[in-house]
Amino acid sequence: MTNNVADHHPGNSVAEGNHEGDFGCSMVELRNLMELRSAEAVARLNDSYGGVQNVCKRLKTSPVEGLSGNPTDLEKRRQVFGQNFIPPKKAKTFLQLVWEALQDVTLIILEIAAIISLGLSFYHPPGGDNELCGQSAGGVEDEGESQAGWIEGAAILFSVIIVVLVTAFNDWSKEKQFRGLQSRIEQEQKFTVIRKGQVIQIPVAEIVVGDIAQIKYGDLLPADGILIQGNDLKIDESSLTGESDQVKKSLDKDPMLLSGTHVMEGSGRMVVTAVGINSQTGIIFTLLGAGEGDEEKKVKKGKKTGAPENRNKAKTQDGVALEIQPLKSQEGVENEEKEKKKVKVPKKEKSVLQGKLTRLAVQIGKAGLIMSAITVIILVLYFVIDTFGVQGRPWLAECTPIYIQYFVKFFIIGVTVLVVAVPEGLPLAVTISLAYSVKKMMKDNNLVRHLDACETMGNATAICSDKTGTLTMNRMTVVQAYVGDTHYRQIPDPDAILPKILDLIVNGVAINSAYTSKILPPEKQAGLPRQVGNKTECALLGFVLDLKQDYQAVRNEVPEEKLYKVYTFNSVRKSMSTVLKNSNGGFRMYSKGASEIILRKCTRILDKNGDPRVFKVKDRDEMVKKVIEPMACHGLRTICLAFRDFPADAEPDWDSENEILSDLTCIAVVGIEDPVRPEVPDAILKCQRAGITVRMVTGDNINTARAIATKCGILLPGEDFLCLEGKEFNRLIRNEKGEVEQEQLDKIWPKLRVLARSSPTDKHTLVKGIIDSTVGDQRQVVAVTGDGTNDGPALKKADVGFAMGIAGTDVAKEASDIILTDDNFTSIVKAVMWGRNVYDSISKFLQFQLTVNVVAVIVAFTGACITQDSPLKAVQMLWVNLIMDTFASLALATEPPSESLLLRKPYGRNKPLISRTMMKNILGHAVYQLTIIFTLLFAGEKFFDIDSGRNAPLHSPPTEHYTIVFNTFVMMQLFNEINARKIHGERNVFEAIYRNPIFCTVVLGTFAAQIIIVEFGGKPFSCSGLTLSQWFWCIFIGVGELLWGQLICTVPTSHLKFLKEAGHGITKEEIPEEELPEDVDEIDHAEMELRRGQILWFRGLNRIQTQMDVVYTFQTGASSLQGALRRQPSIVSQHHDVKNVSSPTHVALSSVNSTPTTSAVAAAAASPPAGNQSGECVP
């Protein structure tokens, strides 16, 4: 088998870059070509185009030199074949968001009440001034006032509009931020292409058809293309086909590479044939409605674009593989069914915080509803009994409108109580807090892809970190070597090594490494040389340079096309080998890899004269003891270089890898140092103080791992911790059938600190085991870092997955929740700090909000029952609602984090949102505020010597008395907002207040607005101006809040046994068995409380909507879109925990998941499909 290299034609595009003629194939032809697979594709390529070389010719590009990079040529290609850009879904317009905000039930009720009130105020019945209608008409001082009845209704409408606009604006800015984030992630993705014979990296969006792209292990392909040359290339196409098996790509079997698929192994070059919406992923995105607008445009253009393509499709369809185009057979119908089910992307369980908040909001809402209903009933009954019973008046026809006006007023009061009771600011506070944190975390090198990851991080109890690049600098250098029976403790002098050994080292390193790895001159003078590509290979190349040799000369002599066969590095092999064909017809293979693995396959070793001598098992053991272990104990990675010659007479069977990789001759062993990042030990100490266990999971040798872990402070001297190798770990946790036993794992993980020589499966098993474990009182919340393609499953499984921004592969980034833009462990600690801060911000907001809620509801309720009129009017209530909801959420949710957050243990999943200390604060402040308000309400007129505002008739002008009540109420809230900054019972509430300018602005702004409302609000706000002394009293009572807060602090919480906590997470026992839904929809028990019927009804609607979408797609897309629809599950399937199986070792796991196994153990080990992991039902 030769090394898939197509013959190279000299037709070089650099000369033809400015060619005027059109390209030799159209976009549609190429698009049809890309729809074919395997043998069929090869046949079509050879018949219609004469092979991939001719495709390059037709596209005017050279397979070796690439495009010329001439701007006019590139622009022309963009016009003919499109740009590599998939237009995002249209953002919702501001008006749509306003419309959504209007859907809020309480707001709708208020609107209706306000409109009725407006209508009635304009309706003046004849005889309305009839004495018989009771006191309703009396007490109006002048005509002008009675005409002003409309003001209240209008003011309510106005405040509703403000609330709606604020909500919509918040949603809009959140959406905008998120889009900014997405586009930043997209811009950062670069890809390697060849232009003018130079290898350069360009942003993915700039790739054009005809570019020659270099692909390697870990890439996410950005466009469709045809393979020109490949080494051992394997692609995971599950994102398009849903098949988890990796597809081998080669020129003679299957050269088609599709965008959106992941390179799992190997490397190669491809010519780009389709980009953007014409690529396979693009077609699917268009189907899924990312380009819904474009669809409509297409339908309008109709004849222009749609028709010819469809005709072409129809022609080719007869011969097209049925796998792409299901006929309307049973299979087709089933697929459609699947589409309908799968379009609903399974979500992860709701984040801890969301779950707690939803429960709390539902509980508060229920209480508010009951209170408001009682208020309305009491008001109506009192009025009816008083008017018709006590006063004994008849119900007169002409009085009806007036009575109705009374009822409407009562209804409005009831609704206002409800509006104040329901904390609709909660979601707002959460959103603002998360959005603010995400924005600030960018500065701390955390690029958050999923908002809730930020808050989950605050609960993290365990971090499983990679070693290379995260804990260490990822700047590798060779510092020791064992060559020719001599152990050099530093880099040897080139003269000390025999020329023939030196030659083997140089060739073995230069040829047997990815040609993309190289060492470039430093950017700054006196800086370190830049390492590009794989860092371990760069260390070896650096070693060659240190030996005063030139690796580039060797590579120029042996270009990549001449390599006969390459076994690329992967996590199973842990080695890499390259075969060259000699001039005499024999072969020479160079190998390098982990020393213990390569040495096991060596039967000879070069002695000090450069001659091979026999290398027996006992020699190997001695070498491990004398050379490898001492290197590893200094924290060095040991790499062995070896070679093997094959005779010319018979070509070996290259596919039987075990035979090929044996009988090697060892050239040298080198020790590579990767120094620990200087800031890491400190960061790990912070984690340990914060109650977070740091574990190191690495592919390195156990001694190296132990040495680094000790340097970092993960292993402490004298502590009883475990360090295991992957093999040992598996032996301890699996039963004889090879299944993971949770109880065995539970014995190990609490003490495990280092897992060395681990495969990706081990990492996944460990993470899953810790998450599913029931050992502690809390479920563990696990964060994982990863950079390699093989880390995908573990990153997905973890509660928070961190991918490396610099060293990470696209696959890892795709599976992660947060991307560390500087690959540094300290950034994870920052993420923990921000996560805890989000949690605290929301608790602060709750503490403030609930105090206002309790007080406002009780005041409105008792006031209404005793004086038939709420002391706080509807409009005033809405203003209070606005300050406490929107503004307070802004002020309290943007508190910056402080280091002190890292001094306490994680909250855990079941810790209530409202601790007993907070409950003490809420009730304590409520008592103070209620006492003051009721005193003012019933004795205020005597104290201030003003007219009483109680029992005022309908439409009477606002009184000073009630204005003072309202003003004092708002002042107390303002000062209590400062108290709410601390939730753990700290005394100094002003601490670092200047660090939060938003908070200061909001408090001062609210104060200014309050002055304007009281002095100039007049009738709409039911306020009349106050004197200076009255103002001072109001403010003085407000300041009393701060003093009262100090008093509350002195009462120890432990004495108040009666205080209940609220807003718990959900424990497993609370959930009735039958409520654990089988499907993967979001589990949220708060919603279940609302009523299961309602949910079913929504689900039904959802299902119907999805079906409508599918039907619509089939109608508009006619035949051309069906083919792509068949592959549509793709995008969804990435979200399945189990589907994304990234290395062959995982396939076993996925099969366990899908087959119902009999033994109880297997049932425990096999996690159900994503969503509800093994019955774990924490919201």
> How far is the C-alpha of 33 from the C-alpha of 58, rounded, in Å?
14
Q: Quick check: 754 pLDDT over 70? A: yes
Given pLDDT bands bounded at 50, 70 and 90, which one contains residue 669?
very high
The model's pTM is 0.67
Question: Measuring CA to CA, which residue among 767, 935, 951, 966 is closest to residue 860?
Answer: 966
Rounded-to-integer distance, Cα 147 and Cα 130, Å = 17
Overall average pLDDT of the 459-486 stretch: 86
* 650 pLDDT above the threshold of 90: no
Give the pair of three-digit tokens for residue 1022.
Answer: 């039911």
Mean pLDDT of the chain: 75
**1148 sits in which H/E element:** helix 1147-1154
| pLDDT beyond 90 at 1106 | no
1156 CB-contact burial (10 Å; exposed 0-12 / middle 13-18 / buried 19+): exposed
Question: What pLDDT is attached to residue 722?
Answer: 86
pLDDT at 1068: 43
| Residue 255: predicted pLDDT | 85
Q: Which residues contact 627 (CB under 8 A, 6 or more apart)?
A: 482, 487, 669
| Residue 625 burial class via C-beta count within 10 angstroms: exposed 0-12, middle 13-18, buried 19 and up | exposed
Q: Using 50, 70 and 90 to split pLDDT, how confident is the model at 927? A: very high
Nearest to 766 by CA among 787, 751, 778: 751
Choice among 606-615, 973-982, 1097-1106 with the minimum mean pLDDT: 1097-1106
Would the pLDDT of 113 be above 80? no
Band (pLDDT 50/70/90 cuts) for residue 144 is very low
Point out the catalytic residue in the list 444, 466, 674, 799: 466
Residue 151 pLDDT: 65
| 833-856 residue pLDDT tens | 988 888 888 888 888 888 888 888
**Type of residue numbered 204:** V
Going by pLDDT thresholds of 50, 70 and 90, the confidence category of residue 1 is low
- Which of the residue ranges 174-188, 524-538, 1157-1171 has the most confident prediction, judged by mean pLDDT? 524-538
Residue 1104 confidence class, pLDDT cut points 50, 70, 90? low
What is the predicted pLDDT for the residue at 1035? 92
Give the mean model confidence (pLDDT) for residues 933-958: 77
**Residue 248 contacts residue 187 (beta carbons within 8 Å):** no
DSSP 893-923: HTPPP-GGGGGS----SSS-SB-HHHHHHHH
- Is 819:803 a contact under the CB 8 Å cutoff? yes
Spell 687-715 as b/e; 16+ CB within 10 A means b.
beebebbbbbbbbbbbbbbbbbbbbbbbb
pLDDT tens for 1004-1024 read 998 998 898 888 877 777 788
Nearest Cα to Cα of residue 762 among 838, 687, 698: 698
Identify the residue with better confidence: 9 or 826. Answer: 826
- Cα of first residue to Cα of last residue in the chain, in angstroms, is 55
User: Tens digits of per-residue pLDDT, 267-276?
Assistant: 888 989 888 8
Which pLDDT score is estimated for 1109? 61
Q: Which amino acid is at 862?
A: T
47 catalytic per annotation? no
DSSP three-state, residue 786: strand
Per-residue pLDDT at 494: 85
How would residue 928 be classed by pLDDT, with cut points 50, 70 and 90? very high
The dihedral of CA 716, 720, 726, 727: what is its sign? positive
Is the separation of the CB atoms in 216 and 516 below 8 Å?
yes
- Angle at the Cα of 627 (from 624 to 629), degrees rounded to 5? 60
Greater pLDDT, 188 or 103: 103
pLDDT of 1175 strictly over 80:
no
pLDDT at 775 over 80: no
Residue 591 predicted with pLDDT over 90: yes
Each residue of 302-338: pLDDT tens digit?
Answer: 333 333 333 333 333 333 332 333 333 333 333 333 3
1139-1166 pLDDT tens trace: 343 444 343 343 334 434 334 444 344 4
Is pLDDT at 1055 greater than 60 in this prediction?
yes
- The pairing of strands 518-520 and 530-532 is antiparallel
Arithmetic mean of pLDDT, 132-159: 55
1175 or 706: whose pLDDT is higher? Answer: 706
1090: pLDDT strictly greater than 80: no
pLDDT at 289: 61
* Confidence class for position 258, pLDDT limits 50, 70, 90: confident
pLDDT value, residue 148: 53
Buried b (16+ CB within 10 A) or exposed e, 799-823: bbbbbbbebbbbbbbbbbbbbbbeb
Distances (CA, A) of 404 to 99, 123, 136, 407, 711: 30, 11, 11, 5, 80
pLDDT of residue 120: 65
Q: Are 428 and 888 in contact (CB under 8 A)?
A: no
Q: Is the pLDDT of residue 630 over 80?
A: yes
> What are the beta bridge partners of residue 676?
472
Who has greater pLDDT, 59 or 302?
59
Backbone angles phi, psi at 914, to 5 degrees: -105, 105
| Residue 805 · residue 821 · CB < 8 Å | yes
Contact (CB, 8 A) for 267 and 63:
no
Question: For residue 947, is pLDDT > 80?
Answer: no
> Is pLDDT larger for residue 1003 or for residue 533?
1003
